Amino acid sequence: MAWLGRSGNSSRFTLAATTATSPPSAVREFANPTASGVIRMKAADQAEYAVTVYATSAGSTIQFLDTHSTVPIWTKNVSYDAAVDISADGRFVAIGVKSGNLAATVEVYDAIYVGPTVPIATFTASSVGLRAMDLSDDGSTVLIGTQNRNHVFDLATQSQVFQDNTTVSHDAHCISRDGRAWGRGGFNPVRAWVKNNGVYNNVLNFSDTSLGFAVHTAAGISADGSTFVTAAYDANNNARLRVHCFALTPTSSTRLWTYVRSEEHTSELQSPDHLVCRLLLEK
């Protein structure tokens, strides 16, 4: 199954079957409840739930969906551009405030048993401008990337457990299924951390010197946190692409391979559970 989003006229999200038919056919369509376009969505890896965001004149409309029905389980309207993520079982949904001027704040909801009225946790970073966020698949850990820092929060203690002050670009970061490992792209060096005796240990500091001005715009990490991948283009010549794959342990890292291309640059990269990297390349 695959999710497709369409903006513009007749904007909507479509759940499509990718294996039963060729070409893929729509299984279910979710109409846009607002006058504006679709923004983003996240689907649960191990359950048939998803969370979607639509733009509105006042901010965003967020819907929590059971893919068996076109009627949302719940809808929440907020007065800001919202970032969202969902745990693998669909129980936990994180909603973040995307604003360059406001403190980076993420609320976590028990989407199934409590609903969207009261968050079970609210995390506010000490830096402003939420660029991106990640909720670990087990719902235990939230990674917040701002304009100049990364913050790691623990849901059980509802506290910040780690902070990285070395990054400039935070659109490219990722966290493992249980929050044990995480990494980020941005400018050189790319970095990754793995817990060693319960404490995040910086095991990777890698600078791509093969590019004139490397910008790592995409990053992915395996579910178990043992494999980390980044993709970078050269800001001086964006036809040049480099993808680097690293093995991570609690005490060290090893570069496994590098992919070199000189025709296109990356717009997205993911490293799913089976450790196969997916690249979406655009000219």
Mean pLDDT, the chain, integer: 83
281 — pLDDT class (breaks 50, 70, 90): very low
* pLDDT of 159 above 90: yes
CB 170 within 8 A of CB 133: no
Give the Cα-Cα-Cα angle 253, 257, 258 (nearest 5 degrees).
Answer: 115
d(CA 233, CA 245): 15
Could you tell me the CA-to-CA distances from 196 to 144, 152, 226, 249 in Å, in that order?
Answer: 21, 16, 13, 9
pLDDT at 199: 95
Whether the Cβ atoms of residue 129 and residue 117 lie closer than 8 Å to each other: no
pLDDT at 278 over 60: no
Specify whether the CB–CB gap between 164 and 200 falls below 8 A: no
pLDDT > 90: what percent of the chain? 47
In the 8-state DSSP scheme, what is residue 169?
-
Rounded to an integer, what distance in angstroms lies between the CA atom of residue 97 and that of residue 127? 13
Residue 264, pLDDT above cutoff 70: no
Q: What is the mean pLDDT of residues 115-128?
A: 93
DSSP 256: E
More confident residue, 217 or 123: 123
| pTM of the complete model beyond 0.85 | no
For residue 257, name the pLDDT band (cuts at 50, 70, 90): very high
pLDDT bucket at 92, cuts 50 / 70 / 90: very high
Query: Encoding tokens for residue 172?
Result: 């490219």
CA atoms in the 13 A half-sphere facing the CB of 4: 14
Residue 277: predicted pLDDT: 41
CB-count exposure of residue 212 (10 Å: 0-12, 13-18, 19+): exposed
pLDDT in tens, 135-155: 999 999 999 988 888 999 999
Tokens 């698949």 correspond to: 137
Which amino acid is located at 100 in the chain?
A: G
The pLDDT of residue 190? 93
8-state DSSP, 87 = -
pLDDT above 70: percentage of residues in the chain: 77
Burial classification of residue 35, based on how many CB atoms lie within 10 Å of its CB (0-12 exposed, 13-18 middle, 19 or more buried): exposed
Tell whether the model's pLDDT for residue 271 goes beyond 50.
Answer: no
| Tokens standing for residue 47 | 């359950």
Bridge pairing between strands 253-261 and 186-187: unpaired
The pLDDT of residue 198 is above 90: yes
- The whole-number average pLDDT for the span 219-246 is 91
> Would you say residue 19 has pLDDT above 80?
no
Rg (CA), the chain: 19
136 - beta bridge partners?
none
pLDDT-based confidence at 255, cuts 50/70/90? Answer: very high
| Cβ 277 vs Cβ 258: under 8 Å | no
* Model pLDDT for residues 33-84, shown as the tens digit of each residue: 555 665 678 888 888 898 988 888 888 899 998 888 888 899 999 988 899 9
What CA–CA distance (Å, rounded) separates 62 from 47? 19
